[in-house]
């Protein structure tokens, strides 16, 4: 199934790509105020169906549109910011009732950087409580629904960002990723999401600012638009001890990819995958094969991957819990509280073994990159489920203990610090999008984006916004 061009009912401007919208802004063919108005109209049209942009900030956006520099990198382009990242003067809740009325006085340094480079913040996108979970719902705003079928979930934890992009509420949207929080919703909503190398996108630090697992990243409807957004996000920030300078990703992305060697693993040798996901991914990679793009089956050696990820994630969650006030943690949903408690049971031996396994997995990936440019694999092993289901109880006949079993394909890139991208490549028989995960070499975002764009062009799926498919 290919994406049919919808009977688009929103403002025509929302159908522009981010790159084309920036060109129009710089050429004076459209104003930032007009884009803000188009975005606000589209948010109003689609919010009742999908609940993606949960806190719009129209006055702030309109004020920003009056004083920006059209020569800046984003030139006045409206964007979404995930509701885990503070924006000055805009309600920021982390999806928690403990912060339901919180309005920060200062923005995170990532937001400040984006605004200095011409972004206009349209509002905050929905997320599960504290970003924990692959189904976007919380007690403050409720659930975000999948725009391709509003009975289904949009993935998480960047579900609001992904769903809003799919319907054209904004041209670019910010996400974050620890265990697939950016990649899963990109796959489920039919958009592109990039988890960059740790430190590539600096943020405002925090109590555990040396932790390399949680990263900020760009989401958009096409690979070029993601590259544009990544350029605006990057840069050294002394508040972030892992950050380093970089850029030039849009230029690199749009160059000829040359010969491409793809290693494909449909299950990473150990993870359950439904037949419909296998069929969509295998079919897409078969269609893109050419004289200059080869695909070979690969079975990476990754013993202990899941245990290492769960262990080091537990360390991260336990660390953050040490500086979380009780008045906040008392509100946590049971699954989040259980994750934190598990972190408190870890031993020094557990942590040491996880670090050893992590190094072995990295070495295995370096062996792969000696003969291939990217590793392709699923983003998740199954299609979206009804929005009321927090996480699946089984995947392809294999029992799931908790929501992490849903996300196993996300662990590898996070554990090894490698950049990874979710690219739309097709649809299930019921019409739900399926993303292909591409994992690139160390600090290899430029090459990863080139290859993703090469595959995107070969598949020629539409990147136009859709109208929400409201199914009862």
Determine the pLDDT at residue 78. Answer: 98
pLDDT in tens, 20-48: 999 999 999 999 999 999 999 999 999 99
pLDDT in tens, 39-91: 999 999 999 999 999 999 999 999 999 998 889 999 999 999 999 999 999 99
Distance CA 306, CA 363 (A): 16
Least reliable range by pLDDT among 93-102, 109-118, 188-197, 315-324: 315-324
Closest CA to 314 of 353, 361, 363: 353
Distance CA 89, CA 107 (A): 8
Reported as type and span, the H/E element at residue 182 is none
Cα(first)–Cα(last) distance of the chain, in Å?
A: 22
CB 214 within 8 A of CB 309: no
Q: Report the chain's mean pLDDT, rounded to a whole number.
A: 94
Q: Which residues pair with 53 in a beta bridge?
A: 125
Transcribe 194-233 into DSSP letters: EEPPTTSB-----TTTT--S-EEEEEESSHHHHHHHHHHH
Least reliable range by pLDDT among 188-192, 336-340, 409-413: 336-340
Residue 5 has pLDDT above 80, yes or no: no
**Res. 10 pLDDT band, cuts 50 70 90:** very low
**Res. 315 pLDDT band, cuts 50 70 90:** very high
Return the C-alpha torsion angle 100, 101, 102, 103, nearest 10.
140
**Res. 11 pLDDT band, cuts 50 70 90:** low
pLDDT in tens, 415-425: 999 999 999 99
Residue 3 has pLDDT above 50, yes or no: no
Overall pTM > 0.75: yes
pLDDT in tens, 386-403: 999 999 999 999 999 888
As given in the structure block, the two tokens for residue 420 are 């990874």
Residue 472 has pLDDT above 70, yes or no: no
**Res. 125 pLDDT band, cuts 50 70 90:** very high
Greater confidence, 273 or 330?
Answer: 273
Distance CA 185, CA 199 (A): 22
Closest CA to 106 of 88, 94, 91, 132: 88
Percent above pLDDT 70 for the chain: 97
Determine the pLDDT at residue 337. Answer: 86
Reported as type and span, the H/E element at residue 50 is helix 32-50
- For residue 108, CA distances in Å to 51, 55, 73, 88 come to 24, 17, 19, 8
Residue 1 has pLDDT above 90, yes or no: no
User: Average pLDDT, stretch 260-272?
Assistant: 96
Catalytic residue list: 82, 157, 181
Closest CA to 448 of 418, 414, 408: 418
Closest CA to 165 of 61, 73, 64, 43: 43
CB 375 within 8 A of CB 439: yes
Determine the pLDDT at residue 157. Answer: 96
């Amino acid at each position: 199934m290919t994406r049919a061009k919808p009977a688009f009912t929103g403002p025509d401007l929302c159908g522009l790509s981010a790159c084309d919208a920036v060109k129009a802004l710089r050429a004076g063919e459209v104003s930032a105020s007009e884009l803000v108005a188009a975005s606000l109209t589209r948010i109003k049209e689609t919010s009742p169906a999908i609940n993606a942009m949960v806190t719009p900030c129209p006055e702030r956006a309109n004020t920003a549109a009056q004083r920006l520099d059209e020569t800046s990198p984003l030139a006045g382009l409206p964007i979404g910011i995930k509701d885990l990242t503070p924006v000055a003067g805009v309600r920021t809740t982390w999806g928690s009732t403990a912060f339901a009325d919180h309005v920060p006085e200062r923005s995170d340094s990532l937001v400040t950087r984006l605004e200095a480079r011409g972004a206009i913040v349209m509002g905050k996108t929905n997320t599960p409580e504290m970003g924990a979970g692959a189904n976007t719902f919380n007690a403050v705003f409720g659930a975000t629904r999948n725009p391709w079928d509003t009975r289904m979930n949009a993935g998480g934890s960047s579900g609001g960002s992904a769903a809003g992009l799919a319907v054209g509420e904004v041209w670019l949207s910010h996400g974050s990723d620890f265990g697939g929080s950016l990649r899963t919703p990109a796959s489920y909503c039919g958009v592109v999401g990039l988890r960059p190398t740790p430190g590539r996108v600096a943020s405002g630090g925090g109590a555990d600012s040396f932790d390399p697992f949680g990263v900020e990243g760009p989401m958009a409807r096409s690979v070029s638009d993601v590259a544009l957004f990544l350029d605006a996000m990057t840069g050294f920030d002394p508040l972030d001890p892992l950050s380093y300078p970089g850029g030039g990703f849009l230029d690199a992305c749009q160059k000829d990819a040359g010969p491409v060697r793809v290693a494909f693993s449909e299950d990473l040798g150990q993870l359950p995958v439904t037949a419909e996901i296998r069929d969509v991914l295998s079919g897409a990679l078969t269609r893109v094969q050419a004289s200059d793009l080869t695909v070979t089956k690969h079975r990476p050696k990754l013993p202990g991957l899941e245990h290492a990820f769960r262990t080091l994630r537990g360390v991260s969650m336990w660390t953050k819990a040490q500086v979380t006030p009780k008045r906040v943690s008392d509100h946590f949903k049971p699954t989040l509280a259980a994750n934190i408690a598990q972190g408190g049971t870890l031993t020094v031996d557990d942590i040491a073994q996880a670090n050893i396994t992590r190094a072995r997995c990295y070495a295995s990936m370096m062996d792969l990159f000696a003969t291939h440019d990217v590793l392709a694999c699923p983003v998740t092993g199954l299609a979206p489920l009804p929005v009321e289901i927090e996480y699946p109880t089984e995947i392809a006949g294999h029992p799931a203990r908790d929501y992490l079993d849903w996300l196993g394909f996300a662990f590898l890139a996070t554990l090894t610090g490698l950049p990874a991208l979710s690219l739309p490549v097709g649809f299930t028989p019921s019409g739900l999008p399926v993303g292909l995960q591409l994992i690139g070499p160390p600090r290899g975002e430029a090459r990863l984006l080139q290859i993703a764009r090469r595959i995107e062009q070969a598949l020629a799926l539409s990147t136009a916004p859709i109208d929400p498919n409201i199914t009862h």
